[in-house]
Structure 1
């Protein structure tokens, strides 16, 4: 089957390589964003893969229609593509566009499903392949596969895992489609829900109201795509990139966010809600990436307190 892949995201690279090596990939289409490097275009150019940069000054629909005609493609796979496909493309006779979405639709529709699933502490996710319609992440489902989501799995690790698994999932879906066993299942709109694009406020740690597990989920959801979960210490903004759960004995009640141990041998430990604790492993500020040990070496001591905002008075 001759296919084209529409993508702006590195998650599509394993699929691009797979279908290029099989000889079924006719072209990759990607969109151009001024001053932003396009890893899909760079990869295709380096590996001799035909790649079309969508010209924003020309009709998107016309460019894709011409690409389908000139390549003789029979199917389009949309995998992390920023442009919404117009209805004129979706109505091309005997041509189907299938989208790859990293959730078990109709749950977690929207542009950042992995962030929200990790932040909300889901224990499983999945890969959904659905026929596209004129709504975002709508349209009947061709194939789904559930995938376990581990409690300490970061956004980057999960994205990489799903990107590799997607190759076999797409192959299963295409086999089903090619064998005319393509009985599509309509999405249940009653059970559907979506989340918006991630904003800065979604990255802020709320020490008073989030548990240790919730803070760890947020940190994992932010690593590395969003640079870390945001907090403040001694009037300076920091992004926490990695934490791990910790159990401490013989401790008194501490205000959430309080650094309870700052030990050069064991690391930096912070109190959370319900007298639970996290070890701070990696942070970054505007100048450097720091380990918890490095922060201790720079003078941070037990008794200092992480804050929700820069306006809060620091405790020394």
Structure 2
């Protein structure tokens, strides 16, 4: 009598949730009765605090991670009988014991390919750099500086995507990638072929206040428009300074318009139907949405409200 081969299944998944991107995947696993539990960061921010309250209300098992509680977390994973762990937003420095506490190990969900961008804010820097495509990538947590890619899904960055819309899009597609990955584990009897990333990607660090300022002397119109979109709305767009007043620019559009030889940063037209036009290093840009402490305004209403006219210069 021939013995049948054991069937590898992924029945219980632990989600490490330090990012809102994890929420749709948690919902999918819960609906399919595959959610073993949720691990939260030790220090709760606004998102993880709200998620903890929702987990408590829904009686979903969870545990907090901390530097001093590795043994407790590992014991919890073993108690949950987790087959797989997927991390959203945790720094790639988790203990190897977490991988060993699950059948198939720990994988990081990244909003870029490791050989493209790496760091905590890849979505921001990809929009700012004018990229038109990103990837959702599952990388296995093993001793590899460049990461070992298990599965990747290309995602388009549309012309008007903001930081928030792109991250919402990544969160929407994450459950699809997780389902494909679990199916692939079954197909390959738990042994997923990994692809070594080819090179070190561009850094995607946390955005600092100085990163948000428009430099009219060095930035092109397309770069300024991308800078505004990259920070909209999470970082209030980017910062432009008129006189001694800093304003937030949430949306701008590269346009063809005469600049009359004025220096970059000069308001060269204010009026309908063209709108509010500013000279740039390589042409012109239309300011669409501005904000300050008084609120968010269309650029034309903003200039009328605060007496801004052509000839004034952003510094």
CA-CA distance at 1:123 after TM superposition: 1.8
Instruction: Measure the CA separation in 2 of the matches of 1:164 and 1:93.
Output: 26
Does 2:116 match 1:103? no
Quick check: 1:98–1:131 contact (8 Å CA) kept in 2? yes
**CA shift digits 1:253-283 (9 cap, x unpaired):** 2211111222265532212112x22221222
2:84 corresponding residue in structure 1: 75
Instruction: Measure the CA separation in 2 of the matches of 1:206 and 1:105.
Output: 29
1:313 corresponding residue in structure 2: none
Instruction: Measure the CA separation in 2 of the matches of 1:111 and 1:153.
Output: 19
Quick check: 2:106–2:140 contact (8 Å CA) kept in 1? yes
Quick check: 1:8–1:40 contact (8 Å CA) kept in 2? no
Equivalent positions of 1:74-93 (< 5 A) are: 74-82=83-91, 84-92=93-101
User: Which of the numbers 290, 293, 301 marks the counterpart of 2:300?
Assistant: 293
Instruction: Measure the CA separation in 2 of the matches of 1:88 and 1:34.
Output: 23
Instruction: Measure the CA separation in 2 of the matches of 1:28 and 1:93.
Output: 14
CA pair 34-22 structure 1, distance change in 2 beyond 3 A:
closer
Instruction: Measure the CA separation in 1 of the matches of 2:106 and 2:18.
Output: 16
1:262 corresponding residue in structure 2: 270
User: Which of the numbers 4, 29, 44 marks the counterpart of 2:39?
Assistant: 29
**CA shift digits 1:260-312 (9 cap, x unpaired):** 222265532212112x22221222223422321231122111111211xxxxx
Instruction: Measure the CA separation in 1 of the matches of 2:234 and 2:80.
Output: 34
Give the length in aligned residue pairs.
301
Secondary structure of 1:257's aligned partner: coil
1:51 corresponding residue in structure 2: 62
User: Which of the numbers 219, 228, 233 marks the counterpart of 2:228?
Assistant: 219
Equivalent positions of 1:138-217 (< 5 A) are: 138-180=146-188, 182-188=192-198, 190-217=199-226
Secondary structure of 1:273's aligned partner: coil
1:9 corresponding residue in structure 2: 19
Question: Structure 2: which 5+ runs fail to align?
Answer: 1-10
Quick check: 2:17–2:40 contact (8 Å CA) kept in 1? yes
Instruction: Measure the CA separation in 2 of the matches of 1:135 and 1:118.
Output: 27
CA-CA distance at 1:159 after TM superposition: 0.8
CA-CA distance at 1:191 after TM superposition: 4.7
Q: Which runs of 4+ in 1 moved over 6 A?
A: none
TM-score by length of 1: 0.87
Quick check: 2:259–2:284 contact (8 Å CA) kept in 1? no
Quick check: 1:9–1:39 contact (8 Å CA) kept in 2? no
CA-CA distance at 1:48 after TM superposition: 4.2
Secondary structure of 2:196's aligned partner: coil
Quick check: 1:15–1:167 contact (8 Å CA) kept in 2? yes
2:255 corresponding residue in structure 1: 246
| RMSD, aligned CA | 2.2
Instruction: Measure the CA separation in 1 of the matches of 2:269 and 2:57.
Output: 49
CA pair 17-240 structure 1, distance change in 2 beyond 3 A:
same
CA-CA distance at 1:247 after TM superposition: 2.5
Does 2:230 match 1:230? no
1:311 corresponding residue in structure 2: none
Instruction: Measure the CA separation in 2 of the matches of 1:34 and 1:13.
Output: 16
Instruction: Measure the CA separation in 2 of the matches of 1:4 and 1:68.
Output: 8
CA pair 256-187 structure 1, distance change in 2 beyond 3 A:
same
1:133 corresponding residue in structure 2: 142
TM-score by length of 2: 0.87
